[in-house]
Amino acid sequence: MLYALLGDLHSSIEDTKAVLDHIQQSAKDAKVLGLGDLYECTVSKKKAQTMSGIPLQKAAIVENDFENLLTFPSIRGNQEERITRVTGIERFTELPETMEIDGATLMHGHQFKWSVTWQPTFPPFKKSILFFGHSHESGLYHRNKKLPIRIRYGQPIALQEKQYGINVGSVVDHREWCLYDSNKRTVTFMCAPSVENG
């Protein structure tokens, strides 16, 4: 099965629309799934520790034009958790923390331990692939180490019978997403073109 995996949208209408259009053009049969941080929380992590009861419109960037783009299932990220904490609104608690698909687990990534240089230490996982986001930096990992490969957008990477962590990159700012073919066991890092470079 084909999956189009995208994360870290952070309420960006233009970037999200560009990525969804790119998915439609290059993988229209793929099942689209979100990896969290759909929304941008406008309350800092530090302030969120002492705030509560804030109206949603003051705690997050929530626009109808953006919400109309969210037609796909998603897990939750740290932004949705922070919005829930400061508003008390339950709407984002309906999003699962993880999701299982053919041969892979989806998790946002804020649950990992991260080094000061943004290198993750993965929790134990049973499936052979763990797709994640959070750091906004696409990459392929094996045994908690980023593999020294140059990512070439649009070129499938055949995965061996090992466990991998795959950061799909971010929609916001980078317009990245990942195409996963569970039958062929390939991942293809993708990037929607920006207006400037067509």
Q: Identify the CATH number of the domain in which residue 123 sits.
A: 3.60.21.10
In a domain, 8, yes or no: yes
In a domain, 197, yes or no: no
Alpha helices in 63-170 (DSSP H): 64-67, 78-87
| Amino acid code (one letter) for 193 | P
In a domain, 9, yes or no: yes
Tell me the CA distances in angstroms from 155 to 13, 24, 53, one per residue in order: 27, 17, 47
Considering its fold, how many domains does the chain have in total?
Answer: 1
Q: What is the pLDDT along the chain (198 residues), one digit of tens a residue?
A: 999 999 999 999 999 999 999 999 999 999 999 999 999 999 999 999 998 999 999 999 999 999 999 999 999 999 999 999 999 999 999 999 999 999 999 999 999 999 999 899 998 888 999 999 999 999 999 999 999 999 999 999 999 999 999 999 999 999 999 999 999 999 999 999 986 544
Q: Retrieve residue 170's tokens.
A: 């971010």
In a domain, 149, yes or no: yes
From the list 169, 161, 163, 165, the residue with the least C-alpha distance to 121 is 165
Is residue 177 helix, strand or coil? Answer: strand
In a domain, 198, yes or no: no
What is the longest distance spanned by two Cα atoms in the chain?
A: 49
In a domain, 183, yes or no: yes
Is residue 34 helix, strand or coil? Answer: strand
pLDDT at 198: 47
Positive or negative CA dihedral for 119, 124, 130, 135? negative
Radius of gyration of the chain (CA): 16
In a domain, 196, yes or no: no
Complete edge-to-edge strand list for the sheet that includes strand 129-132:
98-101, 104-107, 129-132, 164-167, 139-142, 145-146
Segments forming the whole domain that contains residue 20: 2-191
In a domain, 160, yes or no: yes
Which tens digit of pLDDT belongs to each residue from 11-43? 999 999 999 999 999 999 999 999 999 999 999
pLDDT at 196: 57
Is residue 98 helix, strand or coil? Answer: strand
